[in-house]
């Protein structure tokens, strides 16, 4: 039996994933990097006090390492108890930053050495040791969403905003845009309504989402003309500003159809990204 769920209006102009500081389980004195646009948390690392973190994979982390200006040291990074790599740290003094160690007066520091480290799936134990004195911070880098090309669609349109180009897909009449995806994840649906010369002001429209089991959801959106975007291969219409919503995909094979109703627009273009 078909079930219809009405979802309220969702407005979004952009989706931004942000990096996240990983707090150490064990470390020396907590420090603050001062200068530029803000203050950044670091931990002190000494020969007697290593730094230990727990990070979640799969994905990447960035390790930022600094020393007091004019000083150098060797350090070793361990992952899950095994030595990962040895490093020699020697960087130029920073003209911009100083390090506040505890409540002491800030001291000049070096520029940062940044290491990009790939982590396998699961919880990973990281440990950093040194023969001198260093400052370090560990940042988790969010995984970028993957683009999905639909299984069925009518046209692929090149959307251009300044120097950025992306591909959107349209259906035709009652023909839906259909995606197929294996596995669980969070699907982000980007929509851009097409404005023709007869359409004045903001426009309402509804995106109907139909799953393979017959369940439908309706998401009501409101569009306004974009002042910067064009469809390169559809010059007769003007794209709306992007509106997006998210759909949770369960494990297994997902077949999902998308169509638009309650609008006089020539078409609505879709773009899909998924984050596992």
How distant, in Å, are the alpha carbons of 30, 56, 197 from that of 6? 50, 36, 30
The domain ranges of the chain are 4-16+145-275, 20-141
Joined tokens for residue 192: 């851009």
Alpha carbon distance 215, 105 (integer Å): 63
Instruction: Kindly report the length of the chain.
Output: 276
Cβ(275)–Cβ(191) below 8 Å: no
> Average pLDDT for consecutive 10-residue bins of the chain (276 residues)?
41 48 94 83 95 92 95 95 93 93 93 93 95 95 84 95 91 85 93 94 95 94 94 94 94 94 94 90
**pLDDT score for 39:** 81
DSSP state of 26: B
| pLDDT value, residue 174 | 66
Give the C-alpha separation, 23 to 45, whole Å.
14
Q: Which residues contact 105 (CB under 8 A, 6 or more apart)?
A: none
pLDDT of 187 reads 94
Helix/strand/coil percentages in the chain, nearest 5: 0, 65, 35
pTM: 0.56
Classify domain 20-141 at the CATH topology level.
Jelly Rolls (2.60.120)
Tokens 């139909």 locate to: 210
Question: What's the confidence (pLDDT) of residue 7?
Answer: 40
Provide DSSP, 108-131: EEEPPEEEEEEEEEEEEEEEEEES
The answer to whether 108 and 26 are in contact (CB under 8 A) is: no
The answer to whether the 4-16+145-275 and 20-141 domains have the same CATH topology is yes
Q: Which CATH architecture has domain 4-16+145-275?
A: Sandwich (2.60)
pLDDT of residue 162: 85
């Amino acid at each position: 039996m078909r079930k219809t769920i009405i979802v309220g209006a969702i407005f979004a102009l952009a989706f931004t994933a942000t990096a996240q500081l990983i707090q150490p389980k064990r470390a020396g004195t907590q420090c603050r990097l001062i200068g530029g646009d803000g203050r950044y948390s670091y931990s002190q690392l000494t020969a007697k006090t290593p730094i230990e973190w727990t990070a979640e994979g799969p994905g990447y982390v960035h390790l930022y390492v600094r020393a007091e200006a004019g000083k150098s040291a060797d350090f070793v990074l361990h992952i899950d108890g095994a030595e990962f790599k040895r490093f020699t740290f020697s960087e130029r003094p920073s003209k911009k930053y100083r390090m506040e160690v505890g409540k002491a007066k800030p001291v000049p520091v070096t520029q940062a050495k940044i290491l990009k480290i790939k982590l396998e799936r699961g919880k990973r134990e990281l440990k950093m040791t040194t023969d001198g004195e260093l400052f370090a911070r560990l940042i988790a880098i969010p995984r970028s969403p993957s683009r999905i090309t639909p299984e069925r669609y009518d046209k692929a349109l090149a959307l251009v905003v300044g120097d950025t180009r992306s591909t959107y897909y349209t259906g035709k009449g009652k023909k839906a845009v259909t995606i197929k995806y294996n596995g669980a994840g969070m699907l982000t649906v980007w929509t851009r309504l097409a404005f023709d010369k007869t359409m004045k002001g903001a426009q309402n429209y509804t995106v109907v989402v139909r799953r393979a089991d017959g369940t439908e959801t309706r998401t009501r959106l409101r569009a306004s003309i974009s002042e910067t975007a064009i469809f390169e291969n559809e010059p007769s219409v003007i794209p709306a500003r992007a509106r997006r919503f998210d759909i949770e995909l369960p494990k297994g094979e997902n077949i999902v159809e998308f169509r638009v109703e309650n609008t006089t627009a020539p078409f609505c273009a879709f773009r899909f990204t998924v984050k596992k």
